[in-house]
Structure formats: C-alpha cells, structure tokens
C-alpha cells in the first residue's frame, strides 16, 4: 500500500510504505506539562536586565537551561538554610573569581571550603603581589627565561613566590616553636586558619574564613608552593609535623551532624557542578551527578545539576542571582 502526504499530493508523488514507516513515523502526543523551547525576545521590553536573560535560560535549552537550574537549586539551599560546601580548584583563585569567593566568605554565605594547595597559596600571594593578564598564545620558553609562569592567559612572576617565602618563613618558625614547646600538632585546616589570621588583609578569602570561623579543608596542602616552603624551611628548622588525619575527622563530623549532608548521611540534598570536564575517562571531576548518586554522595531524591562551562564565565552569573540577592533581601 502506498501513502500520500499533503506535501507529496501537491506534486503527485507516492511514498512506499516502508519509507513512510521509517522516515515519517507519526509522533506521540507530548505530555501536558511539556515546556516549549523559547528564548528571550529583545523586542518585547525596552530594558532587558541580567535577571531577565538568566530567567529566559530556563526555556532556552542546552547549557542555558542547566545554568538556570543551578540558580534554582542554590536558591533552595539558601531558603532551606542548609550547610553549603564550596569547592574550587587553584586556577579559580588565580583568576578574578577569587574576589567572589572572598565576598562569600566575608558575608558568611558559605559553611565550608574545600580546595587544592594552589587554591590556598594563590590567595595569600595575591595579597603580596599582583597576578597579571597575559595571553593563551604566549611562548613558554620565552616566559621561562623571563621568570614568568603562565596559567592559561594569567601570568604570575617568580618574584611573587619569593615574596610568599619571605612572608611565610617567620610564621613557620613560630609554628615549629609552638610544636616543640606546647606539643601542638597542626592539621592543614589549622595551618590555613593560622595563615588567614597572619595575613590580616581584607582582600584575602582565608582572612575572612578565619574571622568568620569558616573551616577550609585542603588534604593535599603540600602539593604546591606551600609544600616547597615547608621543604626548604625544614633544612634550617626541621621537625614540622602536619597531621591530615585531624581534618578527616573535622570534615566528616561537620557532615554527620549537619541537617543536610553527604555520604555519611546517605548523600547531599543538593549539588551544583560547574565544570568543563567530561566523564568518558572515569575521572571524578568529569563525573555527572548521577554517578555521584551511585556512590551515595547525592541522595536518590536529591536535586542536582552539572553546568558544562568555564566557571569564570558562569559563576559570577550564578552568584548574582543567588547569594547577592539573598543577602540584599536579608539586610
């Protein structure tokens, strides 16, 4: 049997049934609650705000919709008053996102920070000297000869680390003396707390963490410049001990006794990822929220989303529609 469609009837064509069945498969009806895709109409309003654009992302599709969902989830976190754990990598602190992290810590909008060694030291280094805007195409050999380190299109002079060493060495002296005289054993989080106190600079993320008693966890604290400083310092003043086991207890206790937690209480209620990493190689940074559910890191009925994007692009947008508005309404 041959079939005709309005389009083919007008030109006298007949379509064989096998083609009709495979190519022109009839659609099922969409559910009543289906959301049509629709972007922002710049002709509809004379003045379009950032909030208007971000709200339109809900029905824009692709990563725009995921970004809108991230904003929605974080706003639920704030309304519910849950503990909010902020995690980021060192390049985020090297970039201008550091100022946003500082804002969140200063205003007590987060409960805890988890980061890498570079995410700690770059904050203190920026209190001592500037990081500069460069270019992704700058030649590595030329930069090396000039004593300049490149992180993407960011440039950090070697002199910055010399200034960091001059600043941290007297503090390490005091901490070693305290260990020998009082038996104090420092954990990574207590070292960061001490450095936040010593930097005494309101531009520092960890100064505000110290002031507001926000714990900062960095299991691999020695995997960076701080590790180099501890190593070199040990030649003239040996014996410094860092106990990472203390922090395992601290961070697990903070979740076990929290109303909303993670794996120690069968998963987090909410999770927002912002990452460019993919999951094809099985790395944790590229994992999807669904993978985290399989490990019990997110609850079976938890709300989670992953935004595939460079955080330097979208994190300021997320914060402007969540924490900033929350604080303004609170005050």
**What per-residue confidence (pLDDT) applies to 285?**
81
**Are the C-beta atoms of 293 and 23 separated by less than 8 Å?**
no
**What per-residue confidence (pLDDT) applies to 261?**
43
Catalytic residue (one of 126, 260, 297, 299)? 297
**What per-residue confidence (pLDDT) applies to 148?**
97
pLDDT in tens, 81-96: 999 999 999 999 999 9
Whether the predicted pLDDT of 149 surpasses 50: yes
Mean pLDDT over residues 164-191, rounded? Answer: 95
Whether the predicted pLDDT of 1 surpasses 50: no
**What phi and psi, each to the nearest 5 degrees, are found at residue 246?**
-55, -40
Mean residue pLDDT across the chain: 90
Whether the predicted pLDDT of 119 surpasses 80: yes
**What per-residue confidence (pLDDT) applies to 181?**
94
Question: Which residues, 6+ apart, have CB-to-CB distance to 153 below 8 Å?
Answer: 133, 134, 135, 136
Quick check: is 182 catalytic? no
Confidence of residue 162 (pLDDT cuts 50, 70, 90): very high
The proportion of the chain whose per-residue pLDDT surpasses 70, expressed as a percent, equals 91
The proportion of the chain whose per-residue pLDDT surpasses 90, expressed as a percent, equals 76
**Sign of the dihedral through C-alpha 49, 55, 59, 62:** positive
Mean pLDDT over residues 287-315, rounded? Answer: 93
Burial class (CB in 10 A: 0-12, 13-18, 19+), 212: middle
**What per-residue confidence (pLDDT) applies to 265?**
64
Confidence of residue 302 (pLDDT cuts 50, 70, 90): very high
pTM for the whole structure: 0.89
Whether the predicted pLDDT of 3 surpasses 80: no
Angle (CA) 279 261 313, round 5°: 45
**Sign of the dihedral through C-alpha 148, 151, 153, 159:** negative
Integer Cα distance of 44 and 178 in angstroms: 66
**What per-residue confidence (pLDDT) applies to 11?**
52
Confidence of residue 10 (pLDDT cuts 50, 70, 90): low
More confident site: 249 or 133: 133
**Are the C-beta atoms of 180 and 240 separated by less than 8 Å?**
no
Confidence of residue 13 (pLDDT cuts 50, 70, 90): low
Whether the predicted pLDDT of 155 surpasses 90: yes
The partner residues of 16 in beta bridges, in order of sequence, read 2
Confidence of residue 331 (pLDDT cuts 50, 70, 90): confident
Integer Cα distance of 87 and 312 in angstroms: 14
Mean pLDDT over residues 165-169, rounded? Answer: 96
**What per-residue confidence (pLDDT) applies to 121?**
96
**Are the C-beta atoms of 317 and 67 separated by less than 8 Å?**
yes
Mean pLDDT over residues 116-128, rounded? Answer: 97
**What per-residue confidence (pLDDT) applies to 257?**
59
Mean pLDDT over residues 276-296, rounded? Answer: 88
How long a stretch of residues is the chain? 331
**What per-residue confidence (pLDDT) applies to 26?**
78
């Amino acid at each position: 049997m041959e079939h005709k469609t309005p389009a083919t009837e007008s030109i006298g064509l007949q379509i064989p049934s096998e083609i009709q069945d495979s190519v022109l498969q009839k659609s099922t009806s969409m559910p009543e609650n289906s959301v049509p895709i629709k972007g922002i109409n710049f002709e509809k309003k004379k003045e379009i705000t950032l909030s208007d654009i971000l709200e339109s992302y809900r029905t824009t599709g692709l990563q725009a919709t995921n970004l809108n969902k991230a904003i929605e989830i974080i706003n639920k976190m704030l309304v519910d008053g849950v503990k909010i754990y902020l995690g980021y990598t060192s390049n985020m602190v090297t970039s201008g996102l550091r100022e946003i992290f500082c804002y969140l810590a200063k205003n007590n909008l987060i409960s805890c920070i988890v980061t890498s060694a570079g995410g700690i030291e770059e904050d203190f280094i920026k209190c001592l000297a500037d990081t500069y805007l460069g270019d992704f195409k700058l030649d590595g050999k030329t930069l090396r000869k000039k004593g300049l380190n490149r992180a993407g299109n960011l440039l950090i002079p070697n002199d910055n680390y010399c200034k960091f060493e001059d600043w941290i060495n007297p503090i390490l002296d005091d901490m070693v003396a305290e260990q020998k005289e009082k038996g104090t054993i420092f954990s990574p989080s207590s070292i960061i707390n001490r450095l936040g106190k010593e930097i005494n600079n309101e531009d520092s993320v960890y100064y505000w963490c110290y002031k507001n008693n926000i714990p900062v966890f960095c299991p691999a604290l020695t995997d960076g410049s701080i590790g180099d400083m501890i190593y070199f310092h040990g030649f003239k003043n040996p014996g410094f001990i860092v106990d990472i086991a203390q922090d395992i207890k601290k961070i697990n206790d903070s979740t076990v006794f929290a109303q909303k937690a993670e794996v120690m209480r069968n998963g987090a209620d909410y999770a927002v990822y912002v990452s460019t990493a993919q999951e094809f190689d099985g790395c944790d940074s590229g994992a999807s929220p669904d993978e985290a559910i399989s490990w019990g890191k997110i609850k079976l009925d938890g709300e989670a989303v992953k935004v595939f994007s460079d955080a330097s692009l979208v994190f300021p947008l997320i914060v402007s529609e969540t924490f900033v508005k929350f604080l303004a309404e609170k005050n």
